[in-house]
Amino acid sequence: MQKKLIINQNEITFDIIDKSSKLIRFSYNDQDYEFELNKLNGAEMTLKNGTDVFSTLFAKGKKTFALIDGKDVELEYPSKSSARKAQTEGPGRMISPLPGKVLKVMVKQDENVKLGQTLVVVEAMKMEHAIKANCAGVIKKIFYAEGEQITAGVELVKIESDTQ
């Protein structure tokens, strides 16, 4: 089962292999991890990886904080509405939801596009993500070429909407 998690405002995707009340096994970047729930005290728990204590987790409101090797890390699950908003920040603005690499640019400037048409394919965390038109219109600007690295939240393509 694939899950997403935001760690210090960077979204990652991982696969849960096995999960119980005392154990979680998951795969991330082609490596498997297994953690055991060691202590549970109110809103605090400790995770162990074998004999090493990995992290102490603290819940505060809707966010969770981890103490890993003396460093504070903020964890949260992305909401469906925030994921949708990151992908389509208004008509005609096609925003990258994740950092990655532009694999394919499927359109050209001044080309007419339909709602839902794939415009750009981005590779992020070894997965391909299709960036689709959030409105029908004409491509006004393509900001990145194939092979370029991008960060999350950058505008990839600008569409002049048919409804403008």
pTM: 0.46
Backbone phi and psi for residue 117, each to the nearest 5 degrees, phi listed first: -70, 140
pLDDT tier at 49 (50, 70, 90 boundaries)?
Answer: low
- The H or E element that residue 156 is part of is strand 155-161
* Topology (CATH level 3) of domain 86-161: OB fold (Dihydrolipoamide Acetyltransferase, E2P) (2.40.50)
Predicted confidence at residue 84, as pLDDT, reads 43
Band the pLDDT of 81: cuts 50, 70, 90: very low
Give phi and psi for 87, each to the nearest 5. Answer: -80, -30
The confidence score (pLDDT) of residue 20 equals 75
118/11 Cα distance (integer angstroms): 22
Instruction: Say if strands 127-132 and 149-150 run parallel, antiparallel, or are unpaired.
Output: unpaired
- Does the pLDDT value for residue 112 go beyond 90? yes
pLDDT band at 62 (very low <50, low <70, confident <90, very high): low
Distance CA 138, CA 117 (A): 12
Q: H helices within 6-136, ranges in order?
A: 80-87
